A and B are shown apart, each in its own frame.
Chain A
Amino acid sequence: MQELDNHITIVKKGVVGVSHRMNDLVNWSHFYTAGDLLFNLEIHEELNQMETKWHILEDTEMYSIDTNVPDKDPLKKLMVAFKLQRSLLCSYQYQHYINNHGLDRHEYSVNWIKSNRKVAAALPRKELANFLGISNSSLKTYLNEAMEDA
């Protein structure tokens, strides 16, 4: 994915899952869906100590813009601003996932399942429980709660 160096990419439709490896365990950390921004820094070969990978989980369409433009390009100033935000956002996004994980597990898990039914259905139960940071038995309860409102 080096072709996405210096790019800002947005998901138009579909789902991209992000996994990492730690001590022989592969974990999902987040899923990009329509409207989300992707930065390839998280999977950049030189910097990827945790074998982070992108997984296309369903037909996905993305748009990408190269922030590297010649100095005379009329959008140069805008692209410099984009490049700076890109640099900050790629690490800030992880802070957002960390913050989410600090929220009440029960409420967060039920809401996440409700908002991401297709992803939840596509993942093996154990991987989904790992992703939400809950036990398999809690997952069963929370799935039932989320489905009650379906």
Chain B
Amino acid sequence: MPRTKEQVIALRLAEMTGLPENFSDFIEFGAAFEGPFHFSPGENLWGSGQSAGYVWFIQAGYGFDKMDLEDGTTMLNGMIEPGLFVCDEKNLLWGELTASSAKMYTHATVYRLDAAQWRTFVYEHPEFRAILYRVNAHFLQMRKLRLIKMKHKDKRAYWEETKARFPGIELYCTQTEIASYFGVSKSTMHRIMK
């Protein structure tokens, strides 16, 4: 039986927090999203330098998001996968122009919530606000691990692990973007990828 967007989003939040999927804030939060939107391979969810920002929920499909770095280059930031909430954080935090881009490389089904509406929802729902802190704890843990892997994991082993997780990664990202993801120079990355 097909599930509604409210159910799909509430279920994911329930998985992340351990709370019941019929928790009213989860259903209400899911209802605030627009969609579903369907994307084809090669289409951008968002681009760099945009003023409009959204929180996206990925129901199906895979893609990559890339960050603009201070030195003017772009770094592969990570994979967009089903079940993830993704956004440009600078835009969400401070309303700045987006400093990242996100492109799908498979067909995708997604939902989106305008950043300003997202903020209003969180202001008006104190219980949801408290839960959000714990949801962010998951992201914090993921990022700690990513940072430490980037610094200390054997780069060849890390590359093999990444290729297995993101098959065809080299078709969608430049060698420079991949090198930044691993925290190595382009020439070192070239040797690792051989």
Contacts and interface: CB of A to CB of B under 8 A. Distances in A.
Interface stretch (B7-15, B25-33, B35-43, B130-138): B130-138
Which applies to chain A's interface (DSSP): helix, strand, loop or mixed? Answer: helix
B111 interface: no
Given A130-B151, A130-B152, A95 B89 contact: yes
Contact of A25 (B73, B122, B152): B152
Contacts of A42: 140, 144
A41 interface: yes
B84 interface: no
A4 to B, nearest CB: 13
Interface in A18-67: 20, 22, 25, 27, 29, 41-42, 44, 47, 49-50, 52
A44 B181 CA distance: 28
A41 B136 contact: yes
Contact of B92 (A88, A94, A97): A88
Contacts of A92: 89, 93
Q: Mostly helix, strand, loop or mixed at chain B's interface?
A: helix
Contacts of A25: 152
A92 B143 CA distance: 9
Contacts of A50: 141, 144-145, 148
Interface in B142-186: 143-152, 180-181, 183-185
Interface residues of A, number: 38
A13 interface: no
B123 A41 contact: no
Interface of B: 67, 69-71, 73, 75, 77, 89, 92-93, 119, 122-123, 129, 132-134, 136-137, 139-141, 143-152, 180-181, 183-185
Interface of A: 20, 22, 25, 27, 29, 41-42, 44, 47, 49-50, 52, 80-81, 83-92, 94-95, 97-99, 101-105, 107, 130-131, 133
18 contacts: A42-B144, A50-B141, A50-B144, A80-B129, A83-B129, A87-B129, A87-B136, A88-B93, A90-B136, A90-B140, A91-B143, A92-B93, A94-B146, A98-B147, A101-B150, A102-B181, A104-B185, A133-B152
Nearest first, the 8 closest Cβ-Cβ pairs linking A and B are A102-B180, A94-B143, A102-B75, A91-B139, A91-B140, A87-B133, A47-B137, A133-B151
